[in-house]
Amino acid sequence: MLSDIDFADRYRQHLDASGRKPKPVSAWDARAADLGAKPLGGSYANAFVSRLDLTDCHTLLDVGCGPGTIGLLLCDRMEHVYGLDHSPAMLEQLMHRAGKLGADNVTAIRRAWEEPWDDVPRCDIVVASRAGLVDDLDDALAKLNAHASRRVYMTQLAGGHFLDPEIDALLERPGIGLPDHIYALNLLHARGIYATLDYIETPSRLAGAESAEAFVQRATRILGELSSEEASRLAAWYARDPGRGRRGGAPMRWAMLGWESPGS
């Protein structure tokens, strides 16, 4: 029986088995300036926003907001936008960009998933964009539901890999992959919530290299230092099919879940 399966525990077991090591706040702080320098919008962010039902929504809580990738796209359509993140540098970028937009209806909240949210405001709509790879998914969903008066939207990795699994296998780093959106769907189902499901595809993070050498350099920036053997394997993989190599392999796929708040 499906109801006999403890998906919260299965998620934790899967996450532990994946060997994932959470990035420290300092790692996100180090990326904040570069992410904040990017223009608002883009294929992923625009696709995310286009799927939101904003009917009768006036306030928004953007969880894991980063430099305002989603929330700032909506600040001119909301009475107030709250950006929540555990990285102070990301929140500095959020407010800097809000100032450049002339948006005086944005508030930054420094908070982690694991901390109490007692003083976090309840909003009409809550979004968690690419911020759902957490230690305790069941608790995270409870927090999202508790702080949404109308709707919740979140995206999670579909398939469990940030890169094409073929490249992971090529580097002999296949692992078992990360837990993906299926756990969230089942945890919501256990609460009597039937979420909608859609997918957003984005190019591989390795996309754009115009030569095998550039591809290896790009992979090194993303994956860290490669051995000479690993570099040779990647260069050979690229050379076998330069078109696929320029695409960086298969695109990333994000699952977008949406549901009505239980309290709506």
pLDDT in tens, 229-245: 999 999 999 999 999 99
Of 122, 118, 104, 101, whose CA–CA distance to 58 is shortest? 122
For residue 184, what pLDDT band results from cuts at 50, 70 and 90? Answer: very high
Asked whether residue 264 carries a pLDDT value surpassing 80, the answer given is: no
Question: Residue 163 pLDDT > 90, yes or no?
Answer: no
Pick the range with the lowest mean pLDDT from 2-11, 59-68, 145-154, 189-198: 2-11
pTM of the model: 0.91
Percentage of the chain surpassing pLDDT 90? Answer: 84
Sheet holding 252-260, edge to edge: 106-110, 80-85, 59-63, 123-128, 148-157, 252-260, 196-202
